[in-house]
């Protein structure tokens, strides 16, 4: 295990953070649209397609965080045997170890967990109508990104939105087909990226009266 100075750790964390935020933006700008194209072959309703993408994003973060915490418990237990510092330094050592050994994460399990959650989501089409495996690669990319974001201190996460909530301009952009006078969110297109309760990257919503 490498012994890094606090300054070097902060630099490494800041560098990883910037790369992961850029990757999140790229998925929104490119991969999300590619996933929409795949789904449109099976679903004509663009609103439903966008709802599916949003749920996939939120569920990917949930599944990745769950897997991360299980792995971190095991890594901390292993490192604690030879660790000489306190709990804070053990936490940083565990995060650094996981960041350098991403093969500890079985992303396939998370992908299947996400698809299962989508199959039972009452707001999405029945499994007989569409196979969510068509966006398997998109979900996989999101899970890997979400997992890597948990190795940061503090970790990054996405905001979970609720249909009908009051539109928050500091957290979301309105989609181009929104009613710009409507005060409430009809549905969410993309989640906002958060850090310690603060918005790093705005999400996207559709507002309608």
For residue 4, is pLDDT > 60? no
181-200 tens-digit pLDDT: 999 999 999 999 999 999 99
Q: Which long-range contacts (CB under 8 A, 24 or more apart) does 136-141 make?
A: 136/111, 138/27, 138/31, 138/32, 138/34, 138/35, 138/38, 138/53, 138/56, 139/56, 139/60, 139/111, 139/114, 139/115, 140/107, 140/108, 140/111, 141/27, 141/31
Domain locations in the chain? Answer: 7-156, 159-208
**Share above pLDDT 70 across residues of the chain, in percent, rounded to a whole number:** 94
Separation CA 141–CA 27 (nearest Å): 8
**Share above pLDDT 90 across residues of the chain, in percent, rounded to a whole number:** 78
For residue 5, what pLDDT band results from cuts at 50, 70 and 90?
low
For residue 2, is pLDDT > 60? no
Handedness of CA 105, 106, 111, 117 (dihedral sign): negative
């Amino acid at each position: 295990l490498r012994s890094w100075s606090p300054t070097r750790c902060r630099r490494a964390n800041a560098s990883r953070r910037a790369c992961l935020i850029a990757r999140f933006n790229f998925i929104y700008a490119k991969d999300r649209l590619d996933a929409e194209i795949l789904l449109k072959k099976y679903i004509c309703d663009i609103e439903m397609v966008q709802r599916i993408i949003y749920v996939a994003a939120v569920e990917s973060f949930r599944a990745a965080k769950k897997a991360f915490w299980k792995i971190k418990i095991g890594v901390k237990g292993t490192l604690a045997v030879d660790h000489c510092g306190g709990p804070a330094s053990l936490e940083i050592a565990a995060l650094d170890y996981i960041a350098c050994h991403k093969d500890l994460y079985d992303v396939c399990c998370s992908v299947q967990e996400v698809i299962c959650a989508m199959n039972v989501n009452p707001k999405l089409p029945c499994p007989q109508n569409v196979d969510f495996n068509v966006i398997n690669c998109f979900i996989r990319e999101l899970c890997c990104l979400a997992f890597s974001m948990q190795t940061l201190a503090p970790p990054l996460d996405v905001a979970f939105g609720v249909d009908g909530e009051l539109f928050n301009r500091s957290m979301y952009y309105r989609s181009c087909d929104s009613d710009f006078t409507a005060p409430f969110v009809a549905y969410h297109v993309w989640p906002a990226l958060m850090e310690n309760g603060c918005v790093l990257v705005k999400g996207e919503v559709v507002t309608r009266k």
